[in-house]
Amino acid sequence: MLDLRFVRENPEIVKQNIRNKFQDNKLPLVDEVIALDAENRANKQEADRLRAERNKLSKQIGALMAQGKRDEAEETKKKVTASAEALAAAEAKESELEEKIKKIMMTIPNIIDPSVPIGKDDSENVEVQRYGEPVVPAFDIPYHTEIMESFAGIDLDSARKVAGNGFYYLMGDIARLHSAVISYARDFMIDRGFTYCIPPFMIRSEVVTGVMSFAEMDAMMYKIEGEDLYIIGTSEHSMLGKFIDTILDEQALPYTLTSYSPCFRKEKGVHGLEERGVYRIHQFEKQEMIVVCRPEESPMWFDKLWQNTVDLFRSLDVPVRTLECCSGDLADLKVKSVDVEAWSPRQKKYFEVGSCSNLGDAQARRLKIRVNAKDGKYFAHTLNNTVVAPPRMLIAFLENNLRADGSVAIPVALRPYMGGMEQILPKK
């Protein structure tokens, strides 16, 4: 969420930013919120005047009564009553105007970084760099669920009976591999200085609206009926909620956290769900990382975060590339974002396995995460990035480590988490 004063003083910058994000339908909101703000400030002035008048008249009543001027005191009481009624109306109007302003301000997108390429959607994202050599083996790579089935490692039919499409049972070596990747990612991030965290898996609505846009909330979140609770779609939301309405000591920054959680998503939208696969699903597990830092340090942390994901995938022999997200592909709160994509030998192309985002002070402003510095308070900057998210990671891992005989090689880094196994062998 932008600073209202910034919008008031820089309407053309805000409008051009909206155009750069190809959201021209939001252009009228800028003038609308500026007009509402002007009306609200005028209303506040009138409310202040009425309070002063009420206080002045109230003092007069006591003096008039002391002088025995009852009639004048009664007339003054009528004026106080009229003033109080007018003040109550002004206060009600203030609440109404501020609610309208807040709703619009939470809809106007954040100002994107000047380095972000301008484009309408993800088809115009820009490749930055490749890490590792993409290889297409001489043998055919089966579809990822067929690989898992060869290890008796997945049961989609039973999951469909139990919960419907978008769910799965992982079994045997594949389930163990899934857990091994999560455990390895946890230790990988701890070794890089991040504090390990297991957060709440449900959050209140004030946290949800603090960390994401209304559109994202509608497309992603499951609500608990009859409760002010939502099941998390990613643990970064719960971890950032940890700092809600707090004043942080500048000397304690940065906060660098890595978390494990299950994640639940409606996946509402154009992509749909795969009946055969586990690429886009309702339930998965993830290792995440967040940073809460000083504004001047957020670009440095942004580069560190996505590099962590690249390094982890390369340590597991998976080629990856980084992709700079264009303006039209950025969610409204994001200043800048880089996707990490893994190589798929079967598809002969890359696919997304993680996303790193710098949100500037947008989330901190919504959540009231302030920093106490020598020269005053300011809003912190927040960043997040996926460390690893099985089962998408499993797709990349299995395809890139599959051998011609159907076995899957276990990279050295992962062997301690697989009981020392150097490979897993197909069962059928």
Q: Check residue 270 and give its pLDDT.
A: 46
pLDDT tens digits for range 216-235: 787 889 999 999 999 999 99
CATH class of 4-105: mainly alpha
What is the share, in percent, of the chain residues with pLDDT greater than 70?
98
Instruction: Please give the average per-residue pLDDT across 371-388, as a whole number.
Output: 96
Q: For residue 297, what are its two tokens?
A: 């340090």
* pLDDT confidence band for 248 (50 / 70 / 90): very high
Q: What is the mean pLDDT of residues 386-396?
A: 93
> How buried is 83 (Cβ within 10 angstroms: 0-12 exposed, 13-18 middle, 19+ buried)?
buried
217-223: list long-range contacts, CB under 8 Å, 24+ apart: 218/268, 219/266, 219/267, 219/268, 219/269, 220/265, 220/266, 220/267, 220/268, 221/265, 221/266, 222/264, 222/265, 222/266
Residue 300: per-residue pLDDT: 98
Select the more confidently predicted residue: 66 or 52: 52
Q: Greater confidence, 53 or 303?
A: 303
pLDDT of res. 273: 53
Residue 43: pLDDT over 60: yes
Residue 303 — pLDDT band, cuts 50, 70, 90? very high
Residue 363 has a pLDDT of 96
Picking from 163, 394, 178, 156, the residue whose alpha carbon sits closest to that of residue 275 is 156
The yes-or-no verdict on residue 367 having pLDDT over 70 is yes
**pLDDT tens per residue, range 160-198:** 999 998 899 999 999 999 999 999 999 999 999 999 999
Residue 57 scores a pLDDT above 90: no
Fold annotation for 122-424: BirA Bifunctional Protein; domain 2 (3.30.930)
Average pLDDT taken over every residue of the chain: 93
Among the residue ranges 85-94, 119-128, 195-204, 255-264, the one predicted with the least confidence is 85-94
Q: Is the pLDDT of residue 411 over 70?
A: yes
Averaged pLDDT for residues 188-213: 95
The predicted pLDDT at position 274 comes to 53
The region of weakest confidence among 201-215, 291-305, 320-334 is 201-215
Please determine, for residue 202, whether its predicted confidence score (pLDDT) is greater than 80.
yes
Q: In the chain, where are the structural domains located?
A: 4-105, 122-424
In this structure, what token pair is assigned to residue 32?
């609308």
Q: What percentage of the chain exceeds 90 in pLDDT?
A: 83
* pLDDT for res 73: 79
CA separation for the pair 41, 186 (Å, rounded): 50
**Which whole number is the average pLDDT over 114-119?**
98
Position 72 scores a pLDDT of 82
